[in-house]
Amino acid sequence: MQVRQLGLVEYLPAFKAMQAFTADRSATRTPTTAPNTLQVGLQPNENMGDQLWICEHPPVYTQGLAGKVEHVLNPGNIPVVPTDRGGQVTFHGPGQVVAYPLMDLKAAGYYVKEYVYRVEEAVIRTLAHFGVTGHRVTGAPGIYVRLGDPFSHAIRDKADTSFVGLGKIAALGIKISRHCTYHGVALNVAMDLEPFSRINPCGFAGLQTVDLRTIGVSAGWQEAADMFSQKLVHYLAP
């Protein structure tokens, strides 16, 4: 998997570029130029094989296919962009590592459920590198941490589907087209979290959102991005 660090890019051009990349490879399975990819720094004829795009976005709310308008409480001057990924509304902003794995799952040899598990595992292992214990919540994709003690290694009961005592640190939203993935996962590192209070994050009213900084981890964006990239490449391998 080729890792491409795109820097700070507007959300909509990145979204269109992912669509173009995926449509091109799934339709022909041969490298051709997708013009929209040029808007996020890709060069002609680089549309070959699996890629991992790592970036930040300026402030934006993105609404998934299952999104309900009532979950967008008060967007203010932050744009709300409809997308074709799964899930509800979330927020992207500077200080968040956004990862877009563009994979052919058929070639990788596993299915969507395992793909989601592997992406979440990459988040958990990245958090572990910084001493933080990440948790899954059944029926709520993404990764959560214990607000009272994010460094505790106590195992969470898998039957517990509540968010009591938890904060969300990574959101997941994907799209599969002809076995090929796009959209992805966002890990909160050191960002302005206030915009999350203007939505019901991922459709859950009152769900608290946190980042590494607010739970006591001093890590730069690049450090977190590099570690997260390594873990994604490792855990998404065929």
Phi, psi of 43 (to 5 degrees): -110, 155
- Active site residues per annotation: 202
Q: Which of 15-29, 69-83, 104-118 has the lowest mean pLDDT?
A: 15-29
pLDDT tens string 84-139? 998 899 999 999 999 999 999 999 999 999 999 999 999 999 999 999 999 999 88
pLDDT of residue 36: 44
pLDDT of residue 15: 97
Report all structural domains of the chain as residue ranges with CATH numbers, in order of start. 53-235 (3.30.930.10)
63, 92, 95, 143, 145 from 188: Cα distances, Å: 18, 9, 7, 11, 12
- The mean of the pLDDT values for the chain is 89
How many residues in total does the chain contain?
238
Question: Which pairing describes strands 180-188 and 96-102: parallel, antiparallel, or unpaired?
Answer: antiparallel
pLDDT tens string 24-64? 886 655 444 443 444 555 443 354 699 999 999 999 999 99
pLDDT of residue 34: 40
pLDDT of residue 156: 73
232 vs 161: which has the higher pLDDT? 232
- Edge-to-edge strand order for the sheet containing 80-82? 80-82, 60-63, 89-92
pLDDT of residue 27: 66
- Rounded CA-CA distance 39/2 in Å is 18
Number of Cβ within a 10 Å radius of residue 217: 18
Give the position of tokens 């899954």.
Answer: 136
Give the position of tokens 């459920």.
Answer: 113
Q: Is the pLDDT of residue 186 over 70?
A: yes
Short-list 99, 95, 15, CA closest to 62? 15
Burial group, residue 15, by CB count within 10 angstroms (0-12, 13-18, 19+): buried
